[in-house]
Structure 1
Amino acid sequence: MAKGSTIEGIQYLRGIAAMMVVFHHVRHVFGDVSGWTTFGSTGVDIFFVISGFIMAYMTPLSRDAMSDRRSDMRRFWLKRFVRIVPLYWIALPLTVVVFKIGLTDPRLVNDFLFFPRFNLQFPAEIWPALVPGWSINYEMFFYLLFGLSILFGGWRLLVISLSIMTLAILGAFWQFDSAPMRFYTSSIMVEFLFGMLLHSVWRYLSATGAGRRRWIWWLSLLGGFGVLAMNLQGPGFLTHGLPAVFIVLGAMFAFEGIRVPVLRILGDASYSIYLFHLLSFTVSWHVVRLLRLSPAVSKDMIPVFAIYVVVAAGAGIVLHHLLEKPLTRTGNALIKYFDRSRTSGAPLQISKVTP
């Protein structure tokens, strides 16, 4: 498979993981969540493993001169900025205004800079005003480490492994008071490393033809979800991260050659769904009232749940096409333009990109 081509199973999992997080947050519409499963929250663990895998998959090891590696590092960071930041900078202030949270909090600047801080409404939690953004803060820190590791060429995996493991060990032995230190020394960072290591496993299995034993990979995929559903106690990178590894590995081979349009659509829109689903709940609330349904009435629970889920998915898909894709396309075109202008002075051209 050529670099840059889409692994369908990964894209399907993105959609599934995004909807798992939506399910997790819809629970709160019904009041007390103590009787609900927390299974949906593990969608984030799947995202982290996928992220580690994709970074290794899309960024070949560089053995070029140091000047070329520095150029690769800058290009990597720019592409990640274009992919993540513009949409987040739209979702964040919208969330603050709509929910009227942290409007006068000076620490809101931290959220725009992806710098962790304690949440004003939930003082014990290290969350930005856009609560799902806590995982984006981890993503951005991982991109920082990954970009720096590009400078080390063939030693990249070793360098980033040592960096993440050192932070995780510090967090295991010391209880830090500051939000940044407590955040960056969380063992959840190990899940990104799992994804990078998984890339090496995937390459080996692909080369040996082991991926053709499809039943094994369906077992891996379903077994991983089964373990997550058990809600095992223990370090999250083991109880959630390792099952996520088997889920991602299983999906890559189990779905090979299989087309599931609904999952592909959700996967393409997963980032928009993830960022805007809480905002979509305000629309769902009005729809529920218009239909004279109530989350407090037992017979209404299923239709209410379905409305929130469908609106979240639909809003994310629309925003993906109307906002996310144009932003990403324009950003990538600007990167190409400035790359070319340094040598040829080529005119700016914005071309269609495949999501």
Structure 2
Amino acid sequence: MSTDRMSATGRPRVTRLNTLTGLRFPAAFVVFLYHAALLGFLGVPWLSAENVHDYYRSVHHAGALGVSFFFVLSGFVLTWSARDTDTAPRFWRRRFLKIVPNYLLVWVLALVVFAAPYTDMKIGLLNLFMLQVYYPDFTVNFGVNPAGWSLSVEAVFYLSFPLLLRLTKKIPANRINLWVAIVGLGIIATPFLSTQLVPAGSVFMDMEPETSVNQYFFSYILPFPRVLDFALGILVARSVMSGRWRNIGMLWAGALLISSYALGYFTPYIYSSRAVCVIPAAVLIAAGAIADNEGRFTVFRNKVAVWLGDISFAFYLVHFTVLQGVWKLLGSKTYTAPQAAAMMVLSLGVSILASWALYALIERPITQRWSNPRKRPAPAQQEAVPAESLPLAAGRAGEER
């Protein structure tokens, strides 16, 4: 880890933001809570109809909060860690190796565990090739592994990141917060524009009968409006790195996020699923990065939290398949509330173990082995190296390593 102070160009003095890593698992966990509630609307009667409705209402925009948090976090972390010497092909190579192997493995696992009987070839292939987010049809968007749709959106983020980063670097430091505000307002305006400009159609959400599938698709699922979330993360990172961000600290940022989540219970679902919480999420991410950069204590920087954060991508991908699989193994029946809670705790434990296996056996080895191209060995010197230059040559080799 580098411990240099910020330079005049605004480069950060630490390269690994453990607090933000530690925050990843709570974000994935609230998605887990939401997807457990969603099972009841997807033909898995693990709770009675009344109980599943009560549970769903308690977490109905938790999953959206987790997803929005991840979208903003991606833009922030990639900007913070960007290297001036990096190239777009090398960046894309690292992202591909980080995302795709786990995605493909869990796609196969989901088919085997639960999805194959009701997944036709079109839906399966669209999900396999991360194209499911371009059709306003929930059976396509959330086919095979319902958690996979957001990775298809992230793929658009990664493709656009080199260009977006180059553009944001051209913004003068004294105007960066203005652009943060503009993009933030754009995110908040997206649900409003979707309700005003996108025809509602005749299909409405089973879980939210007042919400049009077409309008929700445009506001929440379609990648291009969601690029604003990713861009917000990039801009907030640039603001922090340039010393222009007004930090309110982790405690107040956390309180703001919790308050915004509570506000979501009193707003239409199309707003609570994205617009209400995304700005507070960005504020918390910035506060966590600043705390790490200044070496201040946070509860998310301990070893357990960071380890859970490291496996959180695998957890996010595999947890829905585990929920389905555990329910089937336990007998495919309806449970009382205490029994259902026990099933969720068991599913959580199995998901963590499965995530650990995916991270340790697939994700980490592949990224460590192939993320960076091998350097070709230097050609052998034709002339002898003068003896007096040997110490200097050895010192430079050590620096390069």
> Bigger shift: 3-12 or 86-95?
3-12
Cα displacement (A) at 1:138 = 1.0
Cα displacement (A) at 1:86 = 1.5
Letter in 1 for 2:98: R
**Counterpart residue number, 2:32:** 22
> Bigger shift: 262-271 or 145-154?
145-154
Q: Distance in 2 between matches of 1:75 and 1:174?
A: 39
- CA deviations 1:71-114 (Å, max 9, x no partner) are 71111111111111111111112212321336542343322322
- CA deviations 1:249-302 (Å, max 9, x no partner) are 23334574444222112100011101111222244336645xxx9752233233
Q: Distance in 2 between matches of 1:34 and 1:93?
A: 30
> 1:40 and 2:62 equivalent?
yes
Letter in 2 for 1:142: F
Letter in 2 for 1:34: H
Instruction: State the secondary structure of the residue aligned to 1:106.
Output: helix
**Counterpart residue number, 1:324:** 363
> 1:189 and 2:227 equivalent?
yes
Aligned CA distance change for structure 1 residues 188 and 229 (closer, same or farther; 3 Å): farther
- CA deviations 1:284-329 (Å, max 9, x no partner) are 336645xxx9752233233222212222222212221122212222
Please point out which of 102, 109, 124 is paired with 2:125.
109
Aligned CA distance change for structure 1 residues 82 and 187 (closer, same or farther; 3 Å): same
Matches within 5 A, 1:295-310: 296-310=335-349
Instruction: State the secondary structure of the residue aligned to 2:90.
Output: helix
> Relative contact order (C-alpha < 8 Å, sep 6+): which is higher?
2
Please point out which of 266, 276, 287 is paired with 1:239.
276
Structure 2 stretches of 5 or more lacking a match? 4-11, 40-45, 202-213, 381-401
Cα displacement (A) at 1:4 = 7.4
Q: Distance in 2 between matches of 1:187 and 1:45?
A: 12
> 1:261 and 2:261 equivalent?
no
Instruction: State the secondary structure of the residue aligned to 2:277.
Output: helix
Q: Distance in 2 between matches of 1:81 and 1:227?
A: 34
Letter in 2 for 1:99: F
**Counterpart residue number, 1:350:** none
Q: Distance in 2 between matches of 1:225 and 1:331?
A: 40
Letter in 2 for 1:245: A
Please point out which of 81, 91, 97 is paired with 2:112.
97
Instruction: State the secondary structure of the residue aligned to 1:9.
Output: helix
- CA deviations 1:311-355 (Å, max 9, x no partner) are 2222212221122212222221xx322xx34x8589xxxxxxxxx
The root-mean-square deviation of aligned C-alpha atoms, in Å, is 3.9
Residues 119 and 127 in structure 1, CA contact (< 8 A), matched pair in contact too: no
Total equivalences in the alignment: 321
Residues 171 and 187 in structure 1, CA contact (< 8 A), matched pair in contact too: no
Matches within 5 A, 1:1-355: 5-27=15-37, 28=39, 29-32=46-49, 33-36=52-55, 37=58, 38-41=60-63, 42-60=65-83, 72-101=87-116, 103-115=119-131, 116-118=133-135, 122-123=138-139, 126-149=141-164, 154-155=169-170, 172=194, 174-175=197-198, 182=218, 183-184=221-222, 187-205=225-243, 216-231=249-264, 232-233=266-267, 235=271, 236-253=273-290, 256-258=296-298, 259-285=301-327, 288=330, 296-332=335-371, 335-337=372-374, 340-341=375-376, 344=378
**Counterpart residue number, 1:65:** none
Cα displacement (A) at 1:139 = 0.5
Q: Distance in 2 between matches of 1:147 and 1:46?
A: 21
Residues 191 and 275 in structure 2, CA contact (< 8 A), matched pair in contact too: no
Residues 318 and 351 in structure 2, CA contact (< 8 A), matched pair in contact too: yes
Residues 191 and 237 in structure 1, CA contact (< 8 A), matched pair in contact too: no
Aligned CA distance change for structure 1 residues 316 and 218 (closer, same or farther; 3 Å): same
Cα displacement (A) at 1:184 = 3.7
Aligned CA distance change for structure 1 residues 151 and 227 (closer, same or farther; 3 Å): closer
Residues 98 and 367 in structure 2, CA contact (< 8 A), matched pair in contact too: yes
> Bigger shift: 25-34 or 258-267?
25-34
Letter in 2 for 1:217: M
Instruction: State the secondary structure of the residue aligned to 1:218.
Output: helix
State the TM-score, normalizing by the size of structure 2.
0.67
Cα displacement (A) at 1:22 = 1.0
- CA deviations 1:141-182 (Å, max 9, x no partner) are 111111344566843899x99999699699746438999x94
Instruction: State the secondary structure of the residue aligned to 1:230.
Output: helix
Instruction: State the secondary structure of the residue aligned to 1:141.
Output: helix
Instruction: State the secondary structure of the residue aligned to 1:6.
Output: coil
Q: Distance in 2 between matches of 1:151 and 1:201?
A: 15
Structure 1 stretches of 5 or more lacking a match? 63-67, 347-355
Residues 168 and 189 in structure 1, CA contact (< 8 A), matched pair in contact too: no
Q: Distance in 2 between matches of 1:48 and 1:135?
A: 9
Q: Distance in 1 between matches of 2:238 and 2:166?
A: 20
Q: Distance in 1 between matches of 2:287 and 2:165?
A: 28
Cα displacement (A) at 1:242 = 1.2
